[in-house]
Amino acid sequence: MSLQIAGVGKDFGKQTALSDVTLDIAGGELICLLGPSGCGKTTLLRIIAGLESASRGSITLDGDDLMQQAAHQRNFGMVFQSLALFPHLSVEDNITYGLRLRKMPAAARRQRAAELLDMVRLPGVAKRAVSMLSGGQRQRVAIARALAIEPRIFLLDEPLSALDAGLREAMQIELRELQQRLGITTIVVTHDQREAMTVADRIAVMNGGTIHQMGSPIDVYRRPADKFVASFIGQTNLIPATWQDDRLIVRGSLFDPGQAARDNQHTSPDSHETWLSIRPEELIVLDNNAASPPGATILEATVRFIRDVGASIEAHLELPANDNQPAQSLVALVSRDKVQHLHSGDTTRIQLTADCTVVLET
Ligand code: ATP
């Protein structure tokens, strides 16, 4: 089912937790609300669930006004960070709790619990007490319980944050596979960008009660809309730059950021100061004896140290201070071949190209 969120805002007294959030979620899509602590993601999820009222705006489900429906009428499945399982009840009684309230007969309930336990890969534990399960198993029970009522929308608030790193990554993949198999429209709240990149069709990157950018994981990674998104999603190098007509001045050198960046610049002619975002894997470190390509923008940098963690090698570089700017650290991912020619204290050169650089809205 599709969900339309239009102009939703929420004030707690004088504090605005959400301002003017608009989001269209297609049927079967998995959306992550991603942002730092306090950005408003839980508040938005609770408004969608009906556990909190909005101060303004509207939410419709396949065109029907949701604001008129109480939480229990919405028939949404929810998994909270705390899981909120009943520890004294068996796995089966936890899973079928909502079905009992809906007066489903006992035999049908048992069968449904068995199907759901198979679905979340936890067969054979129906009669066990929840207190006897591991963290990952409890997580699966909470998911099975939320799905038992055949919810119209599946909502999860930091569902995996209590798990250790390895289990968490495995559960992210399981959650995604399950959601795709069921084709259920799902919203996941997380502050973990890797988790969002793993599970989401699209990510809503939030900060300060607003959505900064909405896009596919690769979109928000490769084409971050602003400085906040660029630094929140993955690692990046942010270099200050100044527009001068249709070029940029970067640490005293002229740089052509390409037509697309120029087109964007024309929409906000007043913002002359800006930032370049260059991902470490996109930062080009030239070979020592390579000639500079004609017309290229080349900056000199000092090699500070090399961090070799086996699977990848990072060259930590520094652009030297000049009259106007302090020294700036950069990180480049380099190949094992290239790193043999880089030594701490050496001077090297980096090349800026339009392809590997994103000019950000500030
Ligand atoms: P976290 O990841 O820490 O849970 P979040 O992004 O989910 O953060 P919210 O819990 O939605 O953020 O909170 C957004 C803002 O609204 C915060 O500044 C928070 O202090 C405030 N807030 C949330 N709930 C209430 C409440 N019931 N009363 C007053 N202020 C609240």
Q: φ, ψ for residue 232 (rounded to 5)?
A: -80, -35
Q: What is the pLDDT of residue 135?
A: 83
* Full-model pTM: 0.90
C-beta of residue 351 within 8 angstroms of C-beta of residue 297: yes
Q: How much distance in Å is there from the Cα of 38 to the middle of ligand 1?
A: 5
Q: How much distance in Å is there from the Cα of 289 to the middle of ligand 1?
A: 55
CA dist., res. 41 & res. 38, Å (int): 8
What single DSSP character describes residue 65? Answer: E
The fold of the 3-228 domain, in CATH, is Rossmann fold (3.40.50)
* Tens-digit pLDDT profile for residues 198-239: 999 999 999 999 999 999 999 999 999 999 999 999 999 999
Q: Find where tokens 């809906």 sit.
A: 102
In 10 A of CB 155, how many CB atoms? Answer: 23
Q: Say whether pLDDT at 267 is over 70.
A: no
- Token pair listed for 352: 């800026």
What single DSSP character describes residue 81? Answer: T
Report residue 152 CA to chain centroid gap.
Answer: 23
Q: Which of 227, 150, 156, 222 lies closest to 195, judged by CA?
A: 156
Give start and end residues of each alpha helix (H) in 29-95. Answer: 41-49, 71-74, 91-95
Give start and end residues of each alpha helix (H) in 159-248. Answer: 165-182, 193-199, 217-222, 227-232
Residue scoring higher pLDDT (24 or 89): 24
Count of alpha carbons within 13 Å of 201, Cβ hemisphere only?
A: 16
Q: What is the pLDDT of residue 164?
A: 83
CA dist., res. 287 & res. 233, Å (int): 29
C-beta of residue 154 within 8 angstroms of C-beta of residue 147: yes
CA dist., res. 72 & res. 16, Å (int): 26
CA dist., res. 115 & res. 127, Å (int): 14
86 Cβ below 6 A of ligand 1: no
Question: Which ligand 1 atom is at minimum distance from the Cα of 40?
Answer: 11
- Token pair listed for 180: 């795709």
Mean pLDDT across the chain, nearest whole number? 91
Query: Where in the chain are all domains bearing CATH 2.40.50.140?
Result: 235-359
CA dist., res. 3 & res. 57, Å (int): 13
Q: What is the pLDDT of residue 262?
A: 81
Residue of minimum CA distance from atom 1 in ligand 1: 37
Q: 60 forms bridges with which residues in the sheet?
A: 4, 65
CA dist., res. 208 & res. 186, Å (int): 23
Count of alpha carbons within 13 Å of 208, Cβ hemisphere only?
A: 4
Question: What is the spatial order of strands in the sheet that 328-334 belongs to?
Answer: 284-286, 347-352, 297-308, 313-319, 328-334
Q: 8 forms bridges with which residues in the sheet?
A: 21
The DSSP-derived string for 24-36 is EE-TT-EEEEE-S
Q: In the structure, what pLDDT confidence band is assigned to residue 270 with cuts at 50, 70 and 90?
A: low
Q: Which of 158, 186, 155, 152 lies closest to 171, judged by CA?
A: 158
Give CATH for domain 235-359: 2.40.50.140
Q: How much distance in Å is there from the Cα of 247 to the middle of ligand 1?
A: 42
CA dist., res. 58 & res. 204, Å (int): 18
Q: How much distance in Å is there from the Cα of 42 to the middle of ligand 1?
A: 7
Q: How much distance in Å is there from the Cα of 190 to the middle of ligand 1?
A: 14
Interior CA angle at 123 toward 121 and 124, to 5°? 155
Q: What is the pLDDT of residue 14?
A: 94
CA dist., res. 61 & res. 84, Å (int): 26
Q: Find where tokens 């939703």 sit.
A: 8
42 Cβ below 6 A of ligand 1: yes
17 Cβ below 6 A of ligand 1: yes
Residue scoring higher pLDDT (292 or 66): 66
Q: Say whether pLDDT at 279 is over 90.
A: yes
Strands 284-286 vs 273-278: parallel, antiparallel or unpaired: unpaired
Query: Where in the chain are all domains bearing CATH 3.40.50.300?
Result: 3-228
Q: 90 forms bridges with which residues in the sheet?
A: 129
Rg (CA), the chain: 25
C-beta of residue 139 within 8 angstroms of C-beta of residue 164: no
Q: Say whether pLDDT at 362 is over 70.
A: no
Question: Which ligand 1 atom is at minimum distance from the Cα of 13?
Answer: 29
77 Cβ below 6 A of ligand 1: no
Q: What is the pLDDT of residue 72?
A: 87
* Tens-digit pLDDT profile for residues 46-61: 999 999 999 999 999 9
**Which amino acid makes up residue 356?**
C
Residues of the chain with pLDDT > 70, as a percent, come to: 98
* Tens-digit pLDDT profile for residues 160-204: 887 788 888 888 998 999 999 999 999 999 999 999 999 999 999
Q: How much distance in Å is there from the Cα of 7 to the middle of ligand 1?
A: 18
